[in-house]
Chain A
Amino acid sequence: MEILLQNFDMIMFLTLMVIGYGMGTWAEKRHYRSIEQREKELIKLAVVTAEGSFPDGKVADSTLVSGSVVISIDYFKRLLAILRNIFGGRVKSYESLVDRARREAILRMKEQAKEQGAGMIINMRLETATIGRSANKKKRVGSIEAFAYGTAIVMNKT
């Protein structure tokens, strides 16, 4: 018992690591399943980064649509990233995190556009931001925000 108390912070660290890995992996798998399914459902709604030009009378309405999401890193991903900081190279543990955030943000934007009956989104842009300036500081777990916005076009029925 005494030995457990003496090494309390080490045990705390390992526990957080195991929880981080377990929960993180589970949440990520679940999220990817949901992303893939919703992407399939919304695949007909085209999203392009081009400005687009339309013949007169073709566009009924155009509005700004946006979608944003905040995803937190877990202790395990953070540990991998910290260790990566020493050796350099690709921070693989954060790749899936940013990928999920971007795709989720685009999906939310598309869902908003669909509600308005839009046929396509043009001029789509993506922004990312870290939440909290302490995101990379000691003992803090940061989050990433991805923000997607574009112009939803409602076509005239012909």
Chain B
Amino acid sequence: MKFTPKQLDENVNVSKTHPLVELLWLIGGLALIAGSVFFLLGVTTDWAAKKTPVRVESWLGNLAINEFPAEESPALQQRLDALLAVTPEGSPLHDYHFKIYRVETEDVNALALPGGRIVVFDGLLEQVESENELAMILAHELGHFAHRDHLRGLGRGLGLAVASILFLGEDNSASDLISKSLLTFQVKYSQDQESAADQFGVDLLTARYGHAGGATTFFARLAEDAGSKIPYVLASHPHPDNRIDALNERIEQKSYTIEKTLPVAKDLLLPQ
């Protein structure tokens, strides 16, 4: 037998597919799967949040509040009760037993925790310049409860984390990638929730004081500090300017009037 050396032109061991084409197919397939899982998850948790009895939610909330170094505030409670008194009949808010807490931190923020607990930070109270503004903020938080937002957010986040760990394993770069890209949608969702809570807030504020004065002034002050709109693309809350625009639109649409606001009463002034 004679040995004849021959160079092969074809290489059967390497596929001809261009790597970028393959990447496109794989990413496309993954996006489709992740998207449909996320969508189904969203629909299910929204449905489940609506159906969850307030009793179950309160039990959840009891677990959460123990982690918070907060004290109940009678002064704030009184204002909250006044708002609840004007809440339309049949609203899910009447099922709650609301408690309001004050926390001594500089953050300008307020939180709605599951089970009818509202936490207001001192930093926010320092910024508030009228009773109406404070009522607007409390009404905004009540809006979150009325829409069951805290439960929905919890459900989606939790569901997403569980699904990605189940399918892809805990320690996987692909699950990192998925959660990061889906969080962008989550953010949009949460901005929508904030806007809806704003709308609820301005309605309740008007019911309480008979006019919508103070609805936008607090955000206007925030807007001065907020600066550029670009970082807000990915923030959980809309830019204050956008919130003011949306509120003004609502005020015009419902033809609410704007009258003089009441200064903050003495019982809420911070000890100097």
Contact = CB atoms under 8 A, between A and B. Distances in A.
Interface of A: 2-3, 6-7, 10, 13, 21, 25, 36, 39-40, 43-44, 46, 76-77, 79-80, 82-87, 90, 92-93, 95-96, 98-99, 137-139
Given A3-B230, A3-B233, A3-B234, A83 B14 contact: no
Nearest 3 A/B pairs, CB to CB = A83-B26, A92-B15, A43-B5
17 contacts: A3-B234, A13-B177, A36-B7, A43-B6, A43-B7, A79-B23, A80-B26, A83-B23, A83-B27, A83-B30, A86-B30, A92-B22, A93-B19, A95-B15, A99-B11, A138-B172, A138-B173
Contact of A40 (B7, B172, B231): B7
Contacts of A139: 173
B15 A87 contact: no
B19 A76 contact: yes
A90 B26 contact: no
A88 to B, nearest CB: 11
A90 B22 CA distance: 11
Nearest to B3: A46
Interface of B: 3, 5-7, 11, 13-15, 17, 19-20, 22-23, 26-27, 29-30, 167-168, 171-174, 177, 180, 230-231, 233-234
A82 B234 CA distance: 27
A6 B23 contact: no
Nearest to A81: B26
A96 B7 CA distance: 18
A121 to B, nearest CB: 12
A43 B5 CA distance: 6
Contact of B14 (A7, A36, A43, A96): A96
A46 B3 CA distance: 8
A95 B14 contact: yes
A104 B234 CA distance: 48
A80 B22 contact: yes
A82 B171 CA distance: 12
A95 B233 CA distance: 41
Contact of A95 (B13, B30, B180): B13
Contacts of A93: 19, 22
A16 B174 CA distance: 15
B35 to A, nearest CB: 14
Nearest to B11: A99
B28 to A, nearest CB: 10
Contact of A3 (B171, B177, B231): B231
A158 B73 CA distance: 108
B30 A80 contact: no
A2 B26 CA distance: 31
Nearest to A42: B5
Nearest to A98: B13
Contacts of A87: 26, 29
A6 B234 contact: yes
A144 to B, nearest CB: 14
A90 B16 CA distance: 12
Contacts of B11: 99
A91 to B, nearest CB: 10
B268 to A, nearest CB: 34
A7 B23 CA distance: 22
A36 B11 CA distance: 11
Nearest to A100: B14
B231 to A, nearest CB: 5
A77 B11 CA distance: 19
A90 B17 CA distance: 11
A10 B180 contact: yes
Given A3-B231, A86-B167, 20 more contacts: A6-B234, A40-B7, A43-B5, A79-B173, A80-B22, A80-B26, A82-B173, A83-B26, A83-B27, A83-B30, A83-B174, A86-B174, A87-B29, A90-B15, A93-B19, A95-B14, A96-B14, A99-B14, A138-B173, A139-B173
